[in-house]
Structure 1
Amino acid sequence: MGMLKRVLLFIATNILVIATISIITSALGLHSYLTAYGIDYVQLAIFCAIWGTAGAFISLFMSKFIAKMAMGVVIINPNNATREERFLLEIIYGLAKKLGLRKMPEVGIYPSPEVNAFATGPTKNSSLVAVSSGLLMNMNRDEIEAVLGHEMSHVANGDMVTMTLIQGIVNAFALFLSRIIAYTISVAMSRDERGDISYLTYSLFTIIFDILFTLLGTILVAAFSRWREYRADAGGAKLVGRDKMIAALKRLQMASGIEDERAPSLAALKISHHSSWMSLFSTHPPLEKRITRLEELK
């Protein structure tokens, strides 16, 4: 049930954002793309691009701050790091050099019994990699190295930015299509001989189609998220060795019963996240499929 709640929350959040945009624009009369001759598609495209991507990019630029606050991430200071912390820094810095990153990511630990880790940040050269205290207690050196290899692959691939772009584009298309369809229906329902539409009817249909297209868009975003997890697994295997990566995923599989439910929005960023029975909306493939994919990797 916990996984179902997260999926529904993820969907509801996206729907709420788009619905809020619809209500605000309707209440303020921001319909500059509607003219006496119909829709100005250029104006509509600009409107949708701005409103659709703004929220996604604001979240991206605040992602490190939100992660630190929500999960209580303690950033490791290289100057007074403990032995365990230096061990993490050495692995991360070594992987960063292999990947050709110009700037080392921030590295932190968050207190949690879950065996997990995540990477976030607005760019690959301004990133954060955080591991749970539960992961450090339950994994050996090779498994920890593999998990960090997976997360550093996300960083090197620029997955945080790509996810934001995809989410923004999906939001923009949802706004664009819903307004065209809402306008078409409103014109068809109009009893005015001049074809003038009711803004109340138009606004109502806009909100309905915003929700529908956002729901469909969530499926596309989730599909990309699953693909990037496979890619990061392969990247981690290339960096530290396939056997280490498989061993790490098997360890995650054994510890998958414990999940930290703080900050549901960060769940999609973690290396381990329960797959839902609603597979179309799952941000992660099942761990058994990820293990099988690596075992078949040449």
Structure 2
Amino acid sequence: MSSVVVRAWGITLGLLTATLLAVAAVVRTGAPLPIVGFGLLVFVVIAYLSYRSGGRYEFEHEHARPFDSSEFPDVQRVVLDVCERAGRPLPRVVVMEMDAPGAVVGYDDGEPVVALDPLLPQIVGRAGIEALFAHELGHLGNDIHTDAVRAYIPQILGFCMFWLVFLAGRGPFVAAVGSLLFSAVTFIDDRRIRRIRYVCSLGIEPLALALSRYANRLEEYRADAYAAHVVDPETLAAALYRVAAIATGDNTEDIAGPIPWNADRSFRFSVFATHPSMENRVARLDCEIPTWASPYRPRQVA
């Protein structure tokens, strides 16, 4: 999987380079250095915090609770066994209810943490826990940090394009108001607001986001390959499908986990997906879709 690592890092470094060049172009137009400096400082602070959390979140803020080995004795043995087989130190394990029962990895104040949904052992069993925990271990390291580095690059590039096209040379008042308005909508997670930003950036922000999400999907393949090496591909594929089969709700972020047969598989949606489709993940693992799942077919969306 070395080529996957090279491509993911290449995309990350390419986006960083483009960002530095875009900021330099904004400065050359006569943008007030205090405004540029303050904006960069805010993004650097946010990026650092994202880096410290591995691009994920502060687990305590998501109602996680400490892992109790007496409550999940089988899980405790599985976690110890997987870490021993993988030759990896034991991360802190917490229990957290999720929209779709599963596992997620991140950092809490720089320390690695794996969160497990309390229903997961019932859904996937011991073998499935092994596979999913190994997958999350595969994320620990460079790919979580590259994900964090890329997190806000699309918005920065979008703002730089917005400045160059609409604000450069318009005077300090227009520049200040325009900058504040764009910054105000940067962190609003609303589809309509995102579309406005995409238009204002002349498509640069969604292009950068698509590249970043492509790197995300490469990193998922890498974590899958790591898990397949620690356990085996068939066990991982079965666990992924078992988690997906019982999930409910809207799959608004990616086409990976929650709802493989009902997920939007349109080209537009897949371009911005954080995870590859289940079928592509199984194909990369070079194994078959689990027998019980094979009669089902994804709903194709035009």
The answer to whether TM tops 0.5 is: yes
Point out which structure has higher relative CO (alpha carbons under 8 A, 6+ apart). Answer: 1
RMSD: 4.0
Return the offset for 1:216.
3.5
Partner of 2:294: none
Partner of 1:52: 43
Write out aligned runs for 1:167-206 (5 A).
Answer: 167-183=151-167, 186-187=168-169, 197-203=170-176
SS at match of 1:272: coil
Amino acid paired to 2:60: K
**2:83 counterpart of 1:96:** yes
SS at match of 2:275: coil
Aligned residues: 241
Return the offset for 1:87.
2.8
Gaps of 5+ in 2: 1-24, 183-196, 289-302
Write out aligned runs for 1:125-140 (5 A).
Answer: 126-140=111-125
225, 229, 233: which one pairs with 1:238? 229
Partner of 1:166: 150
After TM superposition, where is structure 1 displaced by more than 6 Å over at least 4 residues in a row? 40-45
For residues 117 and 154 of structure 1, the distance between their equivalents in structure 2, rounded to whole angstroms, comes to 12
SS at match of 1:218: helix
Return the offset for 1:120.
1.1
* Residue-by-residue CA offset, 1:163-196 (whole Å, 9 max, x unaligned): 111124444433434333334xx44xxxxxxxxx
**2:59 counterpart of 1:67:** yes
Report the CA distance shift for 1:158/1:38 in structure 2 as closer, same or farther (over 3 A).
closer
Gaps of 5+ in 1: 1-32, 188-196
Partner of 2:126: 141
For residues 36 and 127 of structure 2, the distance between their equivalents in structure 1, rounded to whole angstroms, comes to 49
Return the offset for 1:210.
5.5
Report the CA distance shift for 1:93/1:178 in structure 2 as closer, same or farther (over 3 A).
farther
Partner of 2:20: none
Amino acid paired to 1:55: I
Percent of matched pairs sharing the same residue: 19
- 2:58/2:107 contact within 8 Å kept: no
For residues 117 and 32 of structure 2, the distance between their equivalents in structure 1, rounded to whole angstroms, comes to 48
For residues 161 and 130 of structure 1, the distance between their equivalents in structure 2, rounded to whole angstroms, comes to 18
* Residue-by-residue CA offset, 1:51-105 (whole Å, 9 max, x unaligned): 33322332444677733332x322225xxx21x634323333333344444x421
* Residue-by-residue CA offset, 1:174-223 (whole Å, 9 max, x unaligned): 3434333334xx44xxxxxxxxx333444566536459543433322222
- 1:92/1:148 contact within 8 Å kept: yes
TM-score by length of 2: 0.64
For residues 150 and 273 of structure 2, the distance between their equivalents in structure 1, rounded to whole angstroms, comes to 16
SS at match of 2:106: strand
- 1:48/1:176 contact within 8 Å kept: no
* Residue-by-residue CA offset, 1:224-276 (whole Å, 9 max, x unaligned): 22221121111110111112112212323322x32599xx9xx67x9824454
- 1:120/1:127 contact within 8 Å kept: yes
**2:120 counterpart of 1:120:** no
SS at match of 2:207: helix
Amino acid paired to 1:94: D
Higher helix share: 1
- 1:142/1:244 contact within 8 Å kept: yes
TM-score by length of 1: 0.64
**2:245 counterpart of 1:254:** yes
**2:196 counterpart of 1:223:** no
